[in-house]
Structure 1
Amino acid sequence: MSAAHDDELKPTTTEGYKVGEKKTVEEYAKLDAEDESLARWKASLGIGAAAATGSIGEPGDNRTVVILELALIVAGRPDVVLNLDSPDAVSKLEESPFTVKEGAEYRMRVKFRVQHEVISGLRYLQLVKRKGIPIDKSDQMMGSYSPNTKENPFYEKTFSEEEAPSGMLYRGTYQALSKFMDDDHKEHMSFKWTIEIKKSWE
């Protein structure tokens, strides 16, 4: 990926915000056990369950966030689902465009797994270009997550509704660059894909 792409797709920052110190699931589970508000926060992340039952993860897989699927959701139409958990699928994304009807309202949904450690401030970044010119950029906070367990093998996050542009001038091919990044600015996945805005779904 080029340095120019990296510069264009940086997450927004909050002045004065500092990323907390990394801890293991076990350390989080033992942290300030008498603090009620902290206990509720840990419960909301499932930290107690992950520490008690053990998190799941593929042996030898050092990834902490595994992006499994990206889906396009439009009311009244079957979801278009892309499997992202294979290098072959990711490499073919630019060749297999998402088709979106002009003016359609849609949502994107991501399915993912967290393993080995707690992930803080996971976010989805997207830059859309047409003919090399940036036309849209989004930065969506996904939240913080503890490692998945056998009882809760993956997470799903559905993003805000968007509307495709409409009119003859907006029909055509758009290139998108997407990234999943956390509070430490660790990039968990990035990929390029193509969107076709058409007059109809066909």
Structure 2
Amino acid sequence: SLEPAVKILSLAILSPDRPDLVLPIPEVGNPKGLWFTLKEGSRYSLKFSFTVNNNIVSGLRYTNTVWKTGMKVDRRKEMLGVFSPQAEAYTHEMPEEITPAGIFARGSYSARTKFMDDDNKRYLEMNYTFDIRKDWPSV
């Protein structure tokens, strides 16, 4: 039987204060340079879109680990579930969060995102950098 094939298509940052920011996932490697900027103390949620081909994927999960100046400051794990192959992309929206605020929260962060299944098969592992600033970047 065929191995399930999961392809993460995009990551969107949704915030009530801003238009949605859709970030395409690079075909190979990691996003180059600063991937995005968030405003301190702002509400946001993440939305993924992905496809599943060949076979059912069970226990698909998302892990995101964030570091600032080499120290781990955040780690999120979310079980996304079981998905059957289909032509249309799936979307999954994470619970809303609030970015940290204050002078010590501002600056550059590095992060690693992973999508894996119950068999620890890795569908995406990506490192990227983002900033938290006093204000949103001008559009």
- Give the TM-score normalised by structure 2: 0.92
Unaligned runs of 5+ in 1: 1-22, 25-61
Cross-structure match for 2:16 = 75
Work out the number of aligned pairs and report it. Answer: 137
Q: Which has the higher contact order (CA 8 A, sep 6+)?
A: 2
Cross-structure match for 2:92 = 157
Deviation track 1:23-62 (CA, whole Å, cap 9, x = no partner) reads 77xxxxxxxxxxxxxxxxxxxxxxxxxxxxxxxxxxxxx8
In 2, the alpha carbon distance for the partners of 1:94 and 1:130 equals 18
SS at match of 1:144: strand
SS at match of 2:78: strand
Q: Which has the higher helix share?
A: 1
In 2, the alpha carbon distance for the partners of 1:166 and 1:135 equals 14
- Aligned pair partner of 1:186 in 96, 121, 130: 121
The sequence identity of aligned pairs, in percent, is 36
Q: CA deviation at 1:107?
A: 0.3
In 1, the alpha carbon distance for the partners of 2:12 and 2:62 equals 14
In 1, the alpha carbon distance for the partners of 2:4 and 2:124 equals 10
4+ long deviations beyond 2 Å: none
Q: CA deviation at 1:96?
A: 2.9
Q: Which has the higher strand share?
A: 2
The one-letter amino acid of 1:111's match is S
Deviation track 1:87-143 (CA, whole Å, cap 9, x = no partner) reads 2xx53x241331110000100000000000100010100100001110110100111
- Aligned pair partner of 1:132 in 70, 83, 86: 70
Cross-structure match for 1:96 = 34
Question: 2:25 aligned with 1:84, yes or no?
Answer: yes
SS at match of 2:46: strand
Question: Which residues in structure 2 correspond to 1:41-56 (within 5 Å)?
Answer: none
The one-letter amino acid of 1:125's match is T
- Give the TM-score normalised by structure 1: 0.64
In 2, the alpha carbon distance for the partners of 1:108 and 1:69 equals 10
Choose 1 or 2 for highest CA Rg. Answer: 1
SS at match of 1:100: strand
